[in-house]
Amino acid sequence: MRRIHEPPRPDDGLRVLVDRLWPRGVAKEAARVDEWPKGLTPSTELRTWFHGGASYEEFRARYEAELGAPEAAGLLDGLRESVREGPVTLLTATRTPERSHAQVLLELLGG
């Protein structure tokens, strides 16, 4: 997992943007994003609720529940398959990736 503002590295493997919105100030060509599965990201409602001061633990529980929906579950299974095939780097613009949806995904992927 890495912030999208950092330059790509040769060992990144598949670069997957896990934010719903494209990050400000990042050129799409420079970001070298291979996949952008928006259906795997927290809903707008959940994201807004979390940024309103909710606890990370409650956010995590609600996000994991969202990941159980058919579309998100299918995308998560596809990402798990990608991890089995080789390196995958989860990209996010959040300033605190270790307390974000990206960390939840990383842990669910076994990272």
Specify the pTM. 0.93
Sign of CA dihedral 43, 49, 51, 54: negative
Percent of all residues in the chain with a pLDDT value above 70, rounded to a whole number: 99
Residues in Cβ contact with 22 at an 8 Å cutoff, skipping those fewer than 6 apart: 28
Q: Report the pLDDT value the prediction gives residue 96, as an integer from 0 to 100.
A: 93
| Residue 74 neighbours by CB distance under 10 Å | 13
pLDDT tens track for 67-105: 999 999 999 999 999 999 999 999 999 999 999 999 999
Percent of all residues in the chain with a pLDDT value above 90, rounded to a whole number: 95
Q: What is the mean pLDDT of the chain?
A: 95
Strands 2-3 and 88-92: parallel
Q: Where are the domains of the chain?
A: 2-108
Residues in Cβ contact with 86 at an 8 Å cutoff, skipping those fewer than 6 apart: 13, 14
| Residue 77 neighbours by CB distance under 10 Å | 10
